[in-house]
Amino acid sequence: MRSFFRYYVLLFAFYGALSVCAQNKRIDSLRNVLRFQAEDSNKVKTLNALSGRLLQANLHDSALFFAEKSVELAKRINFGKGLAKALNWYGNIYLAQDKFPEAIGFHEKSLIEYEKVKDTTAIAGTLFNIGLAYKEQGIISKALEYYFRCLKISEAQAEQHNISYALNTIGIIYFDQGDLDKALEYYARSLKIREKEKDQRGIASSLNNIGLVYKKKNDFEHAIEYYRKSLSINEKTLYKQGMAIALENIGTAYLETRQLPEALDYITKAMNLYVETKSKEGIADCEINIGVVLLKSNKNAEAEKHITNGLQIAKEAGILNLTKDAYQHLSELYALMGKYEMALDNYKQYIVARDSLLNAANTKKTVQMEMNYGFEKKEAEQKAEQEKKDLKTNEDKRKQKLVLWFTACGLGIVLILASVIFRSLILNKRKNKIISEQKMLVERQKEMVEEKQKEILDSIRYAKRIQGSLLTNEKYIERTWKALKKKLI
């Protein structure tokens, strides 16, 4: 059984980071460009591109060297996006070296910088890489946490490519955990998007993974159906590695159902492609599976040859799980052949290889438990610290509310007092106006009275003068009349 997972994980890890320079630029060309560049953002981009190309060439030390130079320059010229990308390359390099805690550390730093420049696509990719590092350590809950965060951001930005890869990877985690229905659900969602986007290799990967789920459910008919669909697409795209994986999976499905000629045919075709692509793991796996087919076909001599070849390649490549399988099958083969001493020797080798795997698994489990404890302890400390902050924040908010309440009350009282005072001023102004008007009216009336009095007095005086004048004339007339009368007598 072979999976596309590792190929696509690496592809996704590098996705978005190669946009600075075209992928077809050679390392030497980038070095030459670097010589003549000023200490600016373009040089940071070139350093990042060069680091990425060196990582793809498995030149990890050189890749780290240029990533470090990029970090230094990006900090010096305050180029946030370039710094984020350089830190991301640091994380990818450590990820490739299986130094997962270091990878997580640098990806977390990269994530902070990407969040500052609000590069959502890069944020999603970095979250994916952190999730991958946790998955490789077996810390599944943390891996899923980051994958779902990646998925959420990708969905918000409608980045279909990222969504499909996140869904596919979440499906792989559920598959590894034995939750086949959940795995099938996420594989199907990923496939739907990839079909819409016409992502041929992605479609082939999803179809292959769905086939693996059906095989795990012992539904070999549906498993072979999906493997064939995957094979057809890989043949159209001329992707030999994908073709080999699909062919081998079809062969092993036929092996499970004891359709031995068909199994031998497909596994042999797969091995020929693995030889072309120089995949030692693929060749070793196929050699052992061919040996098993021949063993079940009672062709013991041929079976011994192929299983032995597979064992040798697996041992040279350090592939312990295939080494274990080869020793187990050889032990069974030699027992059937009556070579009990050789059967016992191979069984002992099988036990050694199995125990080595178990020890490795137990060591990994212990490390995982220690790391989980560390993470849980850290999370507990962070939670306690956060609770303190929340308590202080709530207390501050309560104080602020009290201050605001008292301030509002004070302002209310001031407004009421101001309103009363203003109303009093208005009333006083009106009263003063009325009093003033009344005073003016009284003064006017007084003036009128005085004027009338004066007029009356003037009239009286005038009359008196007239009367005085009249009285004088009468006396005068009387005297004159008396004098005249005397004369007449």
Query: Per the structure block, which two tokens stand in for 215?
Result: 């095989």
Rounded Cα–Cα distance for residues 198 and 192 (Å):
10
Q: Quick check: 310 and 291 in contact, CB under 8 A?
A: yes
Numbers of helices and strands, H then E, in the chain? 18, 0
Under the phi-then-psi rule, with left for phi > 0, alpha for psi from -120 to 50, and beta for the rest, what region is 488? alpha
Maximum alpha-carbon separation in the chain: 215
Q: What pTM value is reported for the model?
A: 0.61
User: What Rg do the C-alpha atoms of the chain give, in angstroms?
Assistant: 51
What pLDDT, on the 0 to 100 scale, is given for residue 377? Answer: 46
Domains of the chain and CATH, by start: 199-278 (1.25.40.10), 300-360 (no CATH)
Q: Which alpha helices (H) appear in 278-339, and where do they start and end?
A: 280-296, 300-317, 320-336
Rounded Cα–Cα distance for residues 345 and 330 (Å):
10
Q: Please state, as a whole number, how many other Cβ atoms lie within 10 Å of the Cβ of residue 290.
A: 25
Between the CA of residue 197 and those of 100, 120, 152, 328, what are the distances in Å?
Answer: 32, 20, 19, 45
Long-range contacts of 71-80 (CB under 8 A, 24+ apart): 73/39, 73/43, 73/44, 73/47, 74/44, 76/39, 77/39, 77/40, 77/41, 77/44, 79/41, 79/44, 80/113, 80/116, 80/117
> Per-residue DSSP letters for 99-146?
-HHHHHHHHHHHHHHHHHHT-HHHHHHHHHHHHHHHHHTT-HHHHHHH
Mean pLDDT by 10 residues, the chain (489 residues): 45 40 60 80 86 84 88 90 90 87 92 91 91 85 90 89 89 90 94 93 94 95 96 94 94 94 95 92 94 94 94 89 92 93 93 80 43 45 63 71 70 72 74 73 70 70 61 58 63
Note the Cα 181 to chain centre separation in Å: 26
State the amino acid at position 64 in one-letter form: L
Q: Quick check: 192 and 166 in contact, CB under 8 A?
A: no
